Amino acid sequence: MKLLEGKTAIITGASRGIGKGIAQVFAQHGANVAFTYSSSVEAANTLEEELNSFGVKAKGYQSNAASFEDAQKLAEDVVTEFGSIDILINNAGITKDNLLMRITEEDFDKVIEVNLKSVFNMTKAVQRTMLKQRKGSIINMSSVVGVKGNAGQTNYAASKAGIIGFSKSVALELGSRNIRSNVIAPGFIETEMTAKLDEDTVKGWRNAIPLKRGGTPEDIANVCVFLASDMSAYVTGQTLNVDGGMLT
C-alpha cells in the first residue's frame, strides 16, 4: 500500500545521507518529491533519475535553505511545477563542532543559520500554500543532541533544541487549519559521513545503544512516512526519538 500516493513533498538537503534515504522511501510510497541540494549537482541528478524511475514526479533544486529569498522562490517554483505542497521535511543541516572555549562566533552563527533559521525560512515559505489547502504536514529534523545536549556541540545542540521549540509553536499556531508540525530526533545514524569515522569509535557507539546497532536512513524515512501520511492525522507538536533506545 502506497501511503503517500499523490502527495507532494519538499525535502531539504537530500543529495546524500538521511535526506536521500527519505526521498527514496517517499518515492516508493507514491509521493512526488521536490528536493534541494547545495553543491553536489551530479549526486542530485542521479537521485532525480532514480526517483523518477518509481513512476513519480521528482525534481532537484539547487537552493540554500539558509537564505530567506531562496526558500520563498523554491516554494513558488514547487507550487508552479507540482501544483501543491503537502509535506515539508526540513532536513538540511551542518556541524562545526568544537569546545565552547574554542568555538568561533562565525562557527556558532553559521550552524544556527543553516540548521535553525532554514526551518523558519522554509516553514514561512510553504505556510501560505498549506493554509490555502487547509492541510499539510511539516516534519523537522532535530537530533538526540537537541534533546539532551552534547559536549563540543553547543552550536549544534542549540540549533537542534531550537527546532523543537519552533515546531511546537507552529503546531499550536496552525493546528486549527489542519496543518501538523512534528519533530524527529535521530540518534546515531550510519551514513557516508559516519563511514569515515574510526571503526573502534563506531563499535563503541553501537555497543552503547540498547538495540546494539546504528540506525539507517531508512529507519528515519519510515517514521517520516508515518508523520507525513494520514496515519498520523491526530499527531502534532510531538518529538519522536528515533535512536535505538539511546535516550531511554
Confidence of residue 3 (pLDDT cuts 50, 70, 90): very high
Q: Between 196 and 157, whose confidence is greater?
A: 157
Catalytic, out of 37, 61, 156, 234: 156
The whole-number pLDDT of residue 21 equals 97
Would you call 59 helix, strand, or coil by DSSP?
Answer: strand
Report how far residue 114's alpha carbon sits from residue 43's, in angstroms, rounded to the nearest whole number: 20
Residues 7-20: pLDDT tens digits?
999 999 999 999 99
Q: Is 234 a catalytic residue?
A: no
Residues 6+ away with beta carbon under 8 Å from 104: 98
1: in domain: no
Output the CA angle 55-50-195, nearest 5 degrees. Answer: 145
Domain that holds residue 36: 8-241
Overall domain count for the chain: 1
- Report the Cα 148 to chain-centroid distance in Å: 19
246: in domain: no
Specify the CATH number for the domain of residue 122: 3.40.50.720
pTM for the structure as a whole? 0.96
119: in domain: yes
